[in-house]
Structure 1
């Protein structure tokens, strides 16, 4: 039996859906966006702002009550990198993730260029998958950029040495660097919920600010609900409840339990939100 090599009925000769909109094309388009460059500049500048703040205000005072990661920020470059993660994990890192995931589809719809992409023709599922993958890659790059710049700048300003733990003791530099890499990975997994919210909203609205702002707003709502102790154990179902579980990685003995639970909750929420985005975009009217 001879297998036909002709293209499907209604498609042009040589057309292959899998060859449309390569990831490198979408990545280059997003890389050239002004918001990408501004986001990278802000994240790279944050460690230097903190170094300047410590230089003006003096080293953090220790010995007054409970010692935190901020109190040991100037002990070494590794300590400074962890301090930067501590102050930025709750909000600063949320914004670039929401921006990259929330702006990607809504901006195309707002510019009326989405209909031309689909008329190329690019299958809807492939278009959305390309944008999602690139948004996640850019989000991961943003989350790596901050601690990487902080580590380099902190090592120059405060020297390279062991990670001094707020609870007492220290971690060798090599072990501490691996732990920080684990922390960054956990933070990225935790931010998948924000990415899912932003990406889903990006397929629902044609207003990029609405998608980005909505994702940031809902993330803040999650943080507020986690602070309501009356909810009891129900708070463990909130991704926000586990956002600082990575601090358990900065112990002499690595504790994975809370991080595993937090990662499971975040991935579960993210998968549902990504599925909603694909389901909605499949039937979305991009012409009107």
Structure 2
């Protein structure tokens, strides 16, 4: 199995396209950091702004026309800002961690680049006619398919690590590394502010985004086993990837829309306790994702196992 994975890695990294995608990802992260920093507001007067915000929210709490939901959010905001003032914790927005969290939105680029590779993993063998040479080896079709899938996931992990490290370094130079020890602040049900590890929170955000990446890449890999044309497989995978979010917005008006794949791929709203639709929970979304994941894996295996390579 290791030899098969090593062989698949050689196929990926010996192509100029792969290195172009990697370089493009680094360039996008750097440019995004610079663009975000262009609107940078110094944290030097953050205490003044925090005090003004607390005063404004306290006045709004006395307004009977403000809905209870917004009042609760204001109370939490007041508690957070007062805690920051008391402990001299500046806002994370204009810090190294704020920039790194913003870069999590660029995981869509990692997903896109991996989809390009995934769409070519199996279909490309048929396009170039190398599938026969691959199947005459003593390894079973199951091992061959598994090695291709694992190689795709390892490639995605490599891009994600490159993106994270690049973002951390770029934002460190832009905002300074002095905020490395800054905690992540949350308000519990009792209205008390709690300190947590910012690194754990960042990893949790990236980890939940990684689940979305794995699901879309698995779908693209399944599509690659269906078509013999790599260009068609890549094109269709990219189309579904971008159209999925639009379709989700259209389907969420119906109660059964929550069972749609792309309504559950982004799990980060659960970090803030704000699901996409009423009745959706983290456990529900994980169950739906597991169903689709197993469906994609079974379809990939059955199609590849039954595929006639003589044609």
Change over 3 Å in CA distance of 1:218–1:230 after alignment to 2? same
Over aligned residues, Cα RMSD in angstroms?
3.2
Alignment match, 1:207? 229
Change over 3 Å in CA distance of 1:215–1:60 after alignment to 2? farther
Matched position secondary structure for 1:286: coil
For residues 176 and 285 of structure 2, the distance between their equivalents in structure 1, rounded to whole angstroms, comes to 33
For residues 14-33 of structure 1, the aligned pairs below 5 Å read 21-33=3-15
For residues 151-162 of structure 1, the aligned pairs below 5 Å read 151-160=168-177, 161=179, 162=182
Q: Give how far 1:240 is off.
A: 2.1
Task: Indicate yes or no: 2:80 matched with 1:78.
Answer: no
For residues 235 and 218 of structure 2, the distance between their equivalents in structure 1, rounded to whole angstroms, comes to 13
Measured against aligned partners, the alpha-carbon deviations of 1:16-37 in whole angstroms (never above 9, x if no partner) come to xx68x53222223322222321
- Decide whether the 8 Å contact of 1:165 with 1:250 is kept in 2: no
Task: Indicate yes or no: 2:66 matched with 1:59.
Answer: no
- Decide whether the 8 Å contact of 1:246 with 1:259 is kept in 2: no
Higher percent of residues as helix? 2
Change over 3 Å in CA distance of 1:60–1:38 after alignment to 2? farther
Q: TM-score, normalised by structure 2?
A: 0.70
Matched position secondary structure for 2:122: helix
Change over 3 Å in CA distance of 1:263–1:154 after alignment to 2? farther
For residues 1-288 of structure 1, the aligned pairs below 5 Å read 21-55=3-37, 57-59=38-40, 75-86=94-105, 88-89=106-107, 91-160=108-177, 161=179, 162=182, 175-228=197-250, 231-249=253-271, 258-288=281-311
Change over 3 Å in CA distance of 1:230–1:25 after alignment to 2? closer
- Decide whether the 8 Å contact of 1:94 with 1:216 is kept in 2: no
How many equivalent pairs are there? 253
Change over 3 Å in CA distance of 1:49–1:140 after alignment to 2? same
Matched position secondary structure for 1:148: helix
Alignment match, 2:63? none
Q: Give how far 1:186 is off.
A: 1.7
Where structure 2 has 5 or more consecutive residues not aligned to the other structure, the ranges are 43-48, 54-90, 274-279
Q: Give how far 1:150 is off.
A: 0.6
Matched position secondary structure for 1:120: coil
Larger Rg: 2
Change over 3 Å in CA distance of 1:74–1:155 after alignment to 2? farther
- Decide whether the 8 Å contact of 2:4 with 2:144 is kept in 1: no
Q: Give how far 1:115 is off.
A: 0.7
- Decide whether the 8 Å contact of 2:252 with 2:258 is kept in 1: no
Measured against aligned partners, the alpha-carbon deviations of 1:90-148 in whole angstroms (never above 9, x if no partner) come to x4233123122211111121111111111134321111111011111111222232222
For residues 166 and 79 of structure 1, the distance between their equivalents in structure 2, rounded to whole angstroms, comes to 15
